[in-house]
Amino acid sequence: MTAIRIVVVDDHPIVRDGLRALFSTVPDADVVGEAGDGVAALREVTLHRPDVVLLDVHLPGATGLEVLPRLRRASPESRVLLLTMDDDGETVLEAVQLGADGYLVKGANQEEIMRAVRAVHDGQMILGSSVNRHLRGLARKDATPFPQLAEREREILDLVATGLSNAAIADRLFLSPKTVANYLTSVFAKLAVTDRGQAIIKARDAGLGRG
């Protein structure tokens, strides 16, 4: 089994130690580096090219959100999972817009953290249970969300909001990946969003993606 290579970025040594201890208990995770600020994070990610970066939002000097685009440029293949105290919708949306692959609130249990690390490593977009509860609390009560969407477009958006890739959606709906991509282009235009992350936030805010 090939272990998921992880860099942990948090300004609190006790948090880094706790995460390192957590990952040491599972066979498919390996902490290859850690950092306490944005400069060190960029150095560690550039050096190790990890599979997953576990990144705190609150860092000295530059915030995790400010550092995030630099990490993506330094190691485009690395997936970035934010782990933070903030669960407000605006912070989540900004994180996703900046390229985060997942968002967990501190206080998530060990099982949830490992599940999220594995999921983002496999290409899924992950928003932790606490974040999902927050977004659902803001959800509109409309019987049919996004009435501007055709039924098939709404169906595909719902599946996107569950974290499925275009290929997985195509398999489930017996469509080609290109057809799914064409539907999503139309969905993005109708929702006035520019990317998949914004679409997921809007969809979950409206109650879609509950599986």
Q: What is the pLDDT of residues 66-84, one digit of tens each?
A: 999 999 999 999 999 998 8
CATH code for the domain in which residue 47 is found: 3.40.50.2300
Is residue 145 domain-resident?
Answer: no
Which amino acid is residue 101, in one-letter code?
D
pLDDT at 85: 81
Distance CA 4, CA 103 (A): 18
47-73 pLDDT per residue, tens: 999 999 999 999 998 899 999 999 999
Residue 74, in any domain of the structure: yes
Domain identity same for 25 and 111: yes
User: Does 123 share its domain with 164?
Assistant: no
If one counts the domains in the chain, the total is 2
Whole-Å CA distances, 62 to 36, 56, 66, 91, 97: 11, 11, 6, 15, 18
Residue-level pLDDT at 117: 94
Name the phi and psi angles at 129, rounded to 5: -60, -40
Helix and strand totals (H; E) in the chain: 10, 6
Question: Which domain covers residue 110, as residue numbers?
Answer: 4-136
Tell me, yes or no, whether 42 and 74 share the same domain: yes
Residue 141 lies in a domain: no
Q: Is the domain of 129 the same as that of 163?
A: no
Residues 115, 167 within the same domain: no
Which of 136, 167, 196 terminates a domain? The answer is: 136
> In the numeric block, which tokens belong to residue 70?
């630099």
Please report, for the domain that includes residue 162, its CATH number.
1.10.10.10
pLDDT, the chain, mean: 87
Percent of the chain with pLDDT over 70: 90
**Is the same domain home to 71 and 10?**
yes
User: By mean pLDDT, which of 1-5, 107-111, 169-173, 202-206 is the weakest?
Assistant: 107-111
| Residue where a domain terminates, one of 88, 111, 136 | 136
Which of 107, 136, 165 is the last residue before a domain boundary?
136
Per-residue pLDDT tens over the stretch 113-148: 999 999 999 888 887 655 555 555 544 444 578 888
165 and 63 inside one domain = no
Q: Does residue 160 share a domain with residue 61?
A: no
Instruction: Measure the CA–CA gap between 123 and 120, rounded to whole angstroms.
Output: 5
